[in-house]
Amino acid sequence: MSIALASAADFRDLDHDLPLLLDAAATRGIQAEIAIWDDPAVDWSSYDAVIVRSCWDYTNRRDEFLAWAASVPTLHNSHDVIRWNTDKVYLQQLQEAGVPIIETRWDISEGDDIGQHDEWVVKPTVSAGSRDTARWTSRDDVYAHSAALVAAGRTSMTQPYIASVDDEGETAMLFFGGTFSHAIRKGAILAKGEGVRQDRDGRGENPLTRNPTDAQHAVARQALAATDQILGRDAGLLYARVDLVTAADGSPLVIELELTEPSLFLPWSDGGAERLMDAIVARA
């Protein structure tokens, strides 16, 4: 059996998960290698499974990335999942299915109702690593940022800034083969008054492992079940990360469902790489 872990030239050395996955494959006698998704020399059809990993440079080239995904016969997660998941408009569908998400307004323009909040976040629906994302206290800034994204042909999202993120962070829950593996805490990344930055490359602190509450487990499962229903799938996804924040009333809200190229935080898990490799073998 042979597998490719798809990365990007600029990011393969920054992906902490890859070495653990290579080790877990070697332990099982599986041939595994890192391959760069836009390298024309790679014969993707030669692998029993191609796993999307650190392809973190796709956001400005989404069409090219989706065309590549469609061309790889044994891709995980599959092309239809990736197409759906790389544009955060999917959150609308999750909300319609009853999944609690952060209150979101789409493509707002000057004068639109944005609710009564102390702070807002404006971001594009296609993004990763907080690019083109900012936290604002002034309504004028919110309108201007949203208008700039729309003028650039993008879809904008406007949300209240969820205050608990500053102390509690986000809870990222990892599922492999549909089964919960581990969870971590991610610290806040948007600083007050900072505006739009393109160079946010870390959270300035290491993630910590976290034991999700029953309520968090319930919302994460609900989000994954809704996804299977929306996409007409009957099997759990090979990998999924459900990112949750906590509302003012203490209930969990989905901030993002990462089914494309999530950091899996394997170095901060006990046996996560082993569980993912077993799930890969079970599917390939």
Ligand X SMILES: Nc1ncnc2c1ncn2[C@@H]1O[C@H](COP(=O)(O)OP(=O)(O)O)[C@@H](O)[C@H]1O
Q: How many CA atoms lie within 13 A of 284 on its CB side?
A: 22
Whether 52 and 239 have beta carbons less than 8 Å apart is answered as: no
* CB of residue 243 to Mg ion, shortest distance in Å: 6
Round to whole Å and give the CA distance between 75 and 50.
5
Whether 154 and 196 have beta carbons less than 8 Å apart is answered as: no
Per CB under 6 A, does 127 bind ligand X? yes
Contact string (CB under 6 A) for ligand X, positions 76-105, x = contact: --------------------------x---
Query: Residue 133: which of ligand X, Mg ion, none does it interact with, CB under 5 to 8 A by kind?
Result: ligand X
How many angstroms separate the Cα of 282 from the Cα of each of 48, 150, 242?
A: 12, 43, 22
Of 140 and 199, nearer to Mg ion (C-beta) is 199
Token pair of 66 as six digits:
């989706």
Contact string (CB under 6 A) for ligand X, positions 173-202, x = contact: ---------------xxx------------
Site residues for ligand X, window 40-59 (CB under 6 A)? none
Of 132 and 256, nearer to Mg ion (C-beta) is 256
Question: What order do you get walking across the sheet with 49-52 strand by strand?
Answer: 31-36, 2-7, 49-52, 75-76
CA angle 56, 57, 61 (to 5 degrees): 130
Per CB under 5 A, does 132 bind Mg ion? no
- 57, 256, 261, 274: which one binds Mg ion (CB under 5 A): 256
Per CB under 6 A, does 161 bind ligand X? yes
Contact string (CB under 6 A) for ligand X, positions 106-125, x = contact: ---------------x-x--
Q: Write the DSSP symbol of residue 101.
A: B
Query: Residue 94: which of Mg ion, ligand X, none does it interact with, CB under 5 to 8 A by kind?
Result: none
Cis before 77? omega within 30: yes
Distance of CA 171 to the CA centre of its chain: 12
Per CB under 6 A, does 253 bind ligand X? no
Of 124 and 236, nearer to ligand X (C-beta) is 124
Q: How many CA atoms lie within 13 A of 208 on its CB side?
A: 11
For ligand X, which stretch binds (CB under 6 A), given 25-33, 39-47, 126-134, 217-225?
Answer: 126-134
Contact string (CB under 6 A) for ligand X, positions 224-243, x = contact: -------------------x
Round to whole Å and give the CA distance between 99 and 113.
23
| Residues binding ligand X (CB under 6 A) | 102, 121, 123, 127-130, 133, 159, 161-162, 165, 170, 188-190, 243, 255-256
